[in-house]
């Protein structure tokens, strides 16, 4: 048993060394770095030297947690674009990062639009951000329209309550596409659950 464990640890150590070599050689090439970091995280290879992936990134690469995860997410975008056989792909992490705000099904269309409409053919992170924002806006309108139709069909909801639901949906959708940067998703779920508890209570204060 010990021999097997020793061999397994040795194998993990060799794989970790190989992946770290990729990172060292491609520290400016975000895709290769992101894929290597992803495997190190998912396979828990960092445990050879560190307790957590965050500690590993900080100590080994002087890389903060947020930046490491951004590189991983951006590299995943490029992988997703490979599935759609996009000829031109993001050449920097800053170009790919805005696309991480979109679901995989919308990333290809948004990126292709950014490529086709880039001023002077130069794709900048700012231009990709603009296209992503437009895509999110259109998607929000589409989803809001679908929800509004469902709400309007329910004749037992007052007009004032419909407006409240409409506004709540707008806020939740906006925060979702902004990756809950300004509002805690956990806090929202907590308050929504509190509302449900109130709704299921009888006038006397006991649950129905």
Q: Do 100 and 66 touch, CB atoms closer than 8 A?
A: no
Residue 139, domain member (yes or no): no
Whether the predicted pLDDT of 57 surpasses 60? yes
**What's the pLDDT tens digit per position in 77-122?**
999 998 777 778 898 999 999 999 998 889 999 999 999 999 998 9
Residue 144, domain member (yes or no): no
CA distance 206 to 140: 38
| 208 confidence band (pLDDT: 50, 70, 90) | very low
DSSP string, 44-99: TGGGGT-SSHHHHHHHHH---HHHHHHHHHHHHHHHHHHHTT-SS--SSHHHHGGG
CA distance 141 to 143: 6
Residue 127, domain member (yes or no): no
- Bridge-partner residues for 201, per DSSP? 207
CA distance 71 to 185: 23
Whether the predicted pLDDT of 124 surpasses 80? yes
Residue 113, domain member (yes or no): no
CB atoms under 10 Å from CB of 147, counted, come to: 15
Domain span at 4: 1-83
**What's the pLDDT tens digit per position in 153-193?**
766 778 888 888 888 888 887 787 777 778 888 898 999 89
Residue 172, domain member (yes or no): no
Q: What are the C-alpha distances in Å from 189 to residues 33, 82, 93, 181, 208?
A: 35, 35, 32, 15, 22
Residue 107, domain member (yes or no): no
Q: Do 102 and 114 touch, CB atoms closer than 8 A?
A: no
Residue 179, domain member (yes or no): no
The total number of structural domains in the chain stands at: 1
Q: Do 123 and 114 touch, CB atoms closer than 8 A?
A: yes
**pTM for the full predicted model:** 0.66
Which letter does DSSP use for residue 32 in this model?
H
Give me the half-sphere count of Cα atoms (radius 13 Å) on the Cβ side of residue 177: 21
Q: Do 31 and 78 touch, CB atoms closer than 8 A?
A: yes
Structure-block tokens of residue 68: 């490491």
Residue 67, domain member (yes or no): yes
Give me the half-sphere count of Cα atoms (radius 13 Å) on the Cβ side of residue 187: 6
């Amino acid at each position: 048993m010990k021999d097997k464990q020793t061999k397994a640890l040795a194998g993990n150590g060799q794989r970790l060394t190989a992946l770290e070599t990729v990172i060292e050689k491609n520290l400016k090439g975000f895709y290769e770095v992101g894929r290597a970091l992803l495997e190190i995280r998912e396979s828990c290879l960092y445990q050879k030297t560190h307790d957590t992936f965050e500690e590993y990134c900080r100590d080994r690469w002087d890389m903060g947690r947020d930046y490491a995860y951004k590189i991983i997410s951006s590299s995943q975008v490029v992988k997703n674009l490979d599935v759609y056989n996009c000829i031109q792909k993001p050449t920097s992490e800053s170009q790919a990062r805005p696309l991480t705000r979109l679901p995989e099904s919308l990333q290809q269309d948004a990126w292709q639009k950014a490529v086709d409409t880039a001023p002077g053919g130069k794709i900048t992170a700012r231009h990709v951000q603009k296209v992503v924002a437009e895509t999110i806006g259109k998607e929000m309108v589409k989803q809001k329209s679908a929800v509004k139709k469902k709400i309007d069909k329910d004749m037992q909801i007052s007009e004032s309550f419909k407006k409240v639901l409409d506004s709540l949906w707008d806020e939740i959708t906006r925060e979702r596409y902004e990756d809950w940067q300004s509002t805690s998703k956990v806090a929202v779920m907590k308050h929504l659950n509190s509302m449900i508890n109130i709704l299921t209570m009888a006038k006397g204060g006991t649950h129905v």
